[in-house]
Amino acid sequence: MADPIASRGYRADDLARRFELERVGDGDVVVDGVCALEPGRKHGLGFAETARQRDRVLASRASLVIVPRELADIDGPALLVSETPRLSFARVAAVFERPGPAPGIAESAIVAPTARVAASASVGANAVVGERAFLGEGVVIGAGSVIDDDVDIGTDTVIGTCVAIRAHTTIGARVRIGSGAVLGERGFGLVPGPAGLEPVPQLGGVRIADDVEIGANSTIDRGAIDDTVVRTGAKIDNQVHIAHNCVIGEHTVIAGCTGIAGSTQIGARCMIGGGVGIGDHVTIADGVIITAASQVPKDIAVEGVYSSTFRAMPARSWRKRLALFRVLDRIEARLKRVETKNGIAGDP
């Protein structure tokens, strides 16, 4: 059955059936977009995540609210009851996203004669598609993007504007790549020579699995020999750099401005905070959480939460602590002499 026309809204019953949610209240209520729970608005869809928001749901002017099971007894707006309200809201809200462009190739686009472009794909203005490239069903290539030779892009993947996908990159299905991203540039590999540093040939590719998201202006370098790999369901924020030969595990999340040096392997279901720096040839276990602005120069072998650096503090306090850091070696040596003189055993 075709979706209702978005401009005319969606009935509560239609949404309940589509997303397998329990509907409480008026099933004919129509919503035409999302809204905050407070104050809410007529024909708006809101959500409450916990039972503590009962009073906010009762006061909301939203026409339809997604709620947890504990709030299913509310006598107020129409409800959609979910065991995971935030996830359900994300899924339902997606129906209100702006529809994609119509299939077809813009007149100003350049598509190589050996490229294969599915009939349902869309290639935007001034985009370039190289030789032997493949664009699957429902693929969207934004205006001004460049898809090099021998690139393979899977079903329903959306490439933003001014994206560069270099040769020998493979992208799976339902991938989202933000504007300005660059995949498959040569990695930063250098070796000392008689006349200075010389570049190491980067002969690998990039492999992006299904359901990955890559944010705007992020960069993923191609491998030197083996491919750089981003596995299924990984989510990469804006302005993230992933160097050559890295492997990013399934469903790992990487926040903005993180830099990951070459040949690093990050496990599955990890959470990497913003502005994290990870050294080269580091291996990180599954399920690791690294808080924002941390530095990771060595392997992390055990699941857990890891942090480094200091929280912001008044500059005067920071300068006092910095002065102590500079004399820590002398303080340690003095403490050892005192312990030795008094027969006190220090830490091993």
- Say what the pTM is: 0.80
- What residues are annotated to the active site? 244
pLDDT tens digits, residue range 278-299?
999 999 999 999 999 999 999 9
| Residue 87 is assigned to a structural domain of this protein | yes
Residue where a domain stops, chosen among 73, 96, 119: 96
Domain match, 218 and 264 both = yes
Domain match, 204 and 288 both = yes
Looking up tokens 């990955």, which residue turns up?
Answer: 212
Residue 38 contacts residue 60 (beta carbons within 8 Å) = yes
Tokens of 8: 């005319």
Residue where a domain stops, chosen among 96, 120, 152: 96
Domain match, 39 and 82 both = yes
Domain match, 158 and 245 both = yes
Helices 85-93 and 12-19 cross at an angle (nearest 10°) of 110
pLDDT tens digits, residue range 18-54?
899 999 999 999 999 999 999 999 999 999 999 999 9
Residue where a domain stops, chosen among 96, 115, 137: 96
What's the domain range around 30?
A: 6-96
Domain CATH for 10: 3.40.1390.10
| Residue 1 is assigned to a structural domain of this protein | no
Domain match, 88 and 206 both = no
Domain match, 191 and 279 both = yes
Residue 127 contacts residue 161 (beta carbons within 8 Å) = no
Ranges in the chain, pLDDT < 50:
1-7, 348
Domain match, 221 and 345 both = no
